[in-house]
Each structure stands twice: as structure tokens, then as C-alpha cells.
């Protein structure tokens, strides 16, 4: 399974990726997660990336491509299957990724484009809360933890809101998405590997559709 999940912020890419990772043992590569790790570590790359992320803007292509190149070089499991989530986000990144994957002889098999309505995105992202300790994701209305403020999975008590999940930043992230990322849909359609799926469905339904499509091809 060698996939890219494409879609606006709040389409549910991370949730679907977590299910696919669990069921198919693919390497899940999220540039958002990699960048947040760099910020947590206080690395020079993290320091550079922080202001872009906090404002809902894209981190420069060369920084993100380098990050992905390093990940692909150092993770041997990638050859057995991968799942990109939140990358690529520009045409430049898409071309860069193709070149890197060509070098290891493992090109993308399919891209799943999760089309999602703007009001649903806003509702999902403003209500999203994440466990600081284990990364489990909740929604204040749709998927609250069993005990308020306490993570079901690790009993952590710091369920925080991402700084870029505030309403104003979300609006900018959507504009950035429409301008920079949406054109990639055409790029992959021209390559004949694009599949459109409904980002309004539940993660379990989407995971089943993706798994079925991949097995059928």
C-alpha cells in the first residue's frame, strides 16, 4: 500500500491514516506531526517552522521536502508501504516527492482526495482536542473523552487545542489550501491515480473504501 491522503485541513486525514496504519502496518508520514516534533525539540528547523504554523501558512517547500527526504532515507520500513498525510501541499512538493520516490523505486500507487464541506471543517477543527501525552484526538461534542478532561487511552489530563485550530487561523488555512494545495488534484488526476472520496463520512467508512479500492487494483 503506497498512498497519499489529500484534502483540506479537517477532512479527517489523520484519523483515517491512524486506522490504515493499524490495519495494514504502513508507515504513516504526517509533515504536520514531524514539524510539531521539531518544535517540541526546539530544533532550528522547529524554530523556523513555528511562526508559519501558528499563522496557518505553509512552511517553505525546501524545508518540508528536506524533512521528507531525511525521513525516507532513515526509515527502512517505508519500502514496504507508506501513507503520506498532509504532504504534498504544493505542486512543487508533489514533484519533489515523485523524484525522491523514483530514486527508491517505490512510486505512489493511489491518491485519495477527501472532499469536505467548509462548515464541516470548521465544526471539526474548532472542537478538536488532543492529549498532550499520547496524541489521542477528541472532539468536544462528537467524541468527548469518557471523563471530562481525562484521556481515555493514557489517563493524561492535558487535552489541549492546537494553536492553529482557532477560528481565524482555520480560515487562513482554508484559503492557503484552496490556493496552493487544490491544484495538486489536477496533477494526480493527469497521472491517473486520483480517487475522490467523501470527507464527510466517518473515518471507519473511509478506511474501508480505501482498503477495498487498493485491494481491487
Residues that bind ligand AMP in the complex, under the rule CB under 6 A: 9, 31-32, 35, 52-53, 56-59, 64, 86-89, 93, 164, 173
Q: How far is the CB of 88 from ligand AMP (least distance, A)?
A: 6
Q: How many helices (DSSP H) and strands (DSSP E) are in the chain?
A: 9, 8
89 is a catalytic site residue: yes
Q: Give me the least distance between CB of 3 and ligand AMP, in Å please.
A: 15
**Residue tagged active-site, from 13, 36, 124, 129:** 13
Q: Burial, 53: exposed, middle or buried (Cβ in 10 Å; 0-12, 13-18, 19+)? A: buried
For the CB of residue 146, give the shortest distance to ligand AMP in the complex, in Å: 26
The nearer residue to ligand AMP, 15 or 93, going by C-beta atoms, is 93
* Residue with smaller CB distance to ligand AMP, 150 or 162: 162
**Could you confirm whether 36 is annotated as catalytic?**
no
Active-site annotation holds for 142: no
Catalytic residue (one of 2, 36, 124, 128):
128
Nearest residue to the partner ligand AMP, using Cβ: 32
* Cα separation of the two ends of the chain: 11
Q: Identify the active-site residue in 50, 106, 162, 196.
A: 162
Q: Residue 162 catalytic? A: yes
Burial status of residue 214 (CB atoms within 10 A of its CB: 0-12, 13-18, 19 or more): middle
CA–CA–CA angle 85, 158, 170 (5° rounding) = 45
Residue 17 phi, psi dihedral angles, 5° rounding: -60, -40
Active-site residue flag, 132: no
Residue whose entry in the numeric block shows the C-alpha cell 501558528: 54
CA dihedral 49, 54, 58, 64 (to 10 degrees): 30
- Min dist. Cβ of residue 30 to ligand AMP (A): 6
Nearer to ligand AMP, 33 or 150 (CB): 33
- Nearest to ligand AMP of 37, 152 (CB atom): 37
Nine-digit cell at 58? Answer: 505553509
| Enzyme catalytic residues | 13, 89, 128, 162, 173
Amino acid at each position: 500500500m503506497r498512498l497519499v491522503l489529500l484534502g483540506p485541513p479537517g477532512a479527517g486525514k489523520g484519523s483515517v491514516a491512524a486506522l490504515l496504519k493499524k490495519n495494514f502496518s504502513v508507515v504513516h508520514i504526517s509533515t504536520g506531526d514531524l514539524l510539531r516534533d521539531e518544535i517540541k525539540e526546539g530544533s532550528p528547523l522547529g524554530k523556523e517552522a513555528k511562526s508559519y504554523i501558528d499563522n496557518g501558512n505553509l512552511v517553505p517547500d525546501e524545508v518540508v521536502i528536506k524533512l521528507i527526504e531525511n525521513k525516507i532515507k532513515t526509515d527502512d520500513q517505508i519500502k514496504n508501504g507508506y501513507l503520506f498525510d498532509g504532504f504534498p501541499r504544493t505542486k512543487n512538493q508533489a514533484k519533489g516527492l515523485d523524484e525522491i520516490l523514483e530514486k527508491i523505486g517505490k512510486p505512489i500507487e493511489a491518491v485519495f482526495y477527501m472532499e469536505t464541506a467548509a462548515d464541516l471543517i470548521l465544526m471539526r477543527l474548532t472542537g478538536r482536542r488532543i492529549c498532550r501525552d499520547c496524541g489521542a484526538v477528541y472532539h468536544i461534542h462528537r467524541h468527548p473523552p469518557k471523563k471530562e478532561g481525562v484521556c481515555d487511552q493514557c489517563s493524561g489530563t492535558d487535552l489541549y487545542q492546537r494553536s492553529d485550530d482557532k477560528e481565524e487561523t482555520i480560515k487562513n488555512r482554508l484559503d492557503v489550501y484552496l490556493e496552493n494545495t487544490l491544484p495538486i488534484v489536477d496533477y494526480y488526476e493527469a497521472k491517473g491515480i486520483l480517487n475522490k472520496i467523501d470527507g464527510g463520512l466517518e473515518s471507519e467508512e473511509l478506511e474501508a473504501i480505501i482498503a477495498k479500492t487498493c485491494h481491487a487494483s
